């Protein structure tokens, strides 16, 4: 029996990686695999977190629904990264049994509609955890050791010898406290990577307990207010939920130590960026590193882009070849399990 599989990737999550992982499965000779490549990241995806526009209930997606549905056609399995799947689309996809989404959160899928139609949805939590954790450590160092400040000055032809002054120069992580908000796939890896630096580590996550190893290594778990008050660096690794949307705002920045740093390699909607701007512009915070934004791409005139104490990157923390390979392997394993009648590893 032929098994029809539609793969929708893009110029990051390339379809050929998924095809190769599928073709390595036992029984893949029966697969009829067709692929589509969307133009992300060369073209921006739609972000519906803030403006409320776009397809109902979907966030972070790319593709026109009619075209996507026509491509999926009679496939029983869809491997997907960014393409939207709406209730109306599912009405047209009678043969679809499973959607495997190669990202941590399937925010481009109408999960309620999928459940109503009996379509299994799986995702890939942790696919980029190592990449984001490494990037986070680099972001912390770029701020605390004044790497960004020195770089920006040299690009303007200015030799910042004053960065060696005792009242200006950066502090070592070994003498600092780092607060990690969120103790999931990424937060736990950030903790692991920071331990050799000798910094004090405090974690806030009301839904997860510390591992025994982290407890033995002196990592502390506390509430959000205590973490903010004690930390020299605060790094955000929670997920966007109704509870966390906008939960880092003026009150939270005011609680942070004067001269501390804020790092966001998670998601923009959790942060009140107007309040962050005020905390940075008044130098209550010494600096920030922002990898994600409430709306992407960030508007050219956005005030935060003009501050001299912010490092900015265009949402690339999770971008690595290892991330792609991890996602492809996870999707192939979910397909194998589905066809074998085994339970999914990561049901959405």
What confidence tens digit (pLDDT) does each residue in 305-344 have? 999 999 999 999 999 999 999 999 999 999 999 999 999 9
As a CATH number, domain 129-312 is: 3.40.50.720
pLDDT score at 51: 54
Tell which residue, 250, 313, 311, 312, has the closest CA to residue 282: 250
- Fold type of domain 3-127+320-340: Rossmann fold (3.40.50)
Query: How far is residue 253's CA from residue 270's CA, in Å, rounded to a whole number?
Result: 13
Map out the domains of the chain as residue ranges: 3-127+320-340, 129-312
Inter-residue long-range contacts of 246-252, CB under 8 Å, 24+ positions, other chains counted: 246/270, 246/271, 246/272, 248/181, 248/272, 248/276, 249/275, 250/275, 250/278, 250/279, 252/224, 252/228
For 262-292, the pLDDT digits (tens) are 999 999 999 999 999 999 999 999 999 999 9
pLDDT score at 50: 53
Contacts of residue 300, defined as CB under 8 A and 6 or more positions apart, other chains included, come to: none
Tell which residue, 49, 48, 45, has the closest CA to residue 61: 45
CA atoms within 13 A on the CB side of 122: 24
CB-based contact 155:215 (threshold 8 Å) = no
Query: How far is residue 305's CA from residue 281's CA, in Å, rounded to a whole number?
Result: 12
For 170-204, the pLDDT digits (tens) are 999 999 999 999 999 999 999 999 999 999 999 99
49 pLDDT exceeds 70? no
Residue 26 CA, chain-centre distance (Å), reads: 32
Catalytic residue numbers, as ranges: 267, 296, 315
């Amino acid at each position: 029996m032929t098994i029809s599989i539609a793969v929708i990737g893009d110029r990051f999550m390339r379809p050929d990686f998924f095809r190769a992982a599928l073709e390595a499965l036992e029984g893949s000779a029966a697969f009829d695999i067709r692929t589509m490549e969307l133009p992300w990241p060369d073209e921006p995806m739609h972000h519906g977190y803030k403006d409320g526009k776009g397809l109902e209930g979907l966030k972070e997606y790319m593709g026109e629904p009619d075209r996507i549905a026509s491509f999926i056609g009679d496939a029983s399995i869809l491997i997907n990264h960014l393409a939207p799947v709406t209730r109306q689309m599912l009405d047209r996809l009678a043969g679809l049994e499973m959607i495997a989404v190669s990202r941590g959160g399937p925010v481009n899928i109408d999960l309620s509609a999928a459940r109503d139609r009996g379509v299994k949805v799986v995702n890939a939590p942790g696919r980029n955890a190592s990449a984001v954790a490494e990037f986070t450590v680099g972001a912390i160092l770029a701020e605390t050791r004044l790497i960004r400040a020195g770089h920006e000055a040299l690009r303007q032809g200015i030799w910042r010898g004053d960065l060696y002054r005792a009242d200006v120069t950066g502090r070592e992580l070994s003498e600092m406290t780092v607060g990690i908000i969120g103790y999931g796939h990424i937060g736990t890896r950030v903790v692991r990577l920071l331990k050799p630096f000798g910094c004090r580590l405090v974690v806030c996550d009301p839904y997860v307990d510390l591992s025994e190893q982290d407890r033995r290594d002196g990592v502390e778990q506390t509430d959000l207010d205590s973490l903010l008050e004690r930390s020299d660096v605060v790094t955000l690794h929670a997920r966007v939920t109704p509870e966390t949307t906008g939960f880092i705002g003026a009150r939270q920045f005011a609680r942070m130590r004067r001269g501390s740093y804020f790092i966001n390699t998670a998601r923009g909607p959790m942060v009140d960026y107007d309040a962050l701007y005020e905390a940075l512009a008044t130098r209550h915070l010494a600096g920030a590193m922002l990898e994600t934004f409430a709306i992407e791409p960030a508007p050219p005139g956005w005030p935060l882009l003009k501050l001299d104490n912010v490092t900015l990157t265009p949402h690339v923390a999770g971008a690595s070849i290892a991330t792609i390979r991890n996602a492809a392997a996870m999707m192939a394993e979910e397909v194998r399990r589905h066809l074998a009648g085994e339970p999914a590893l990561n049901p959405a």
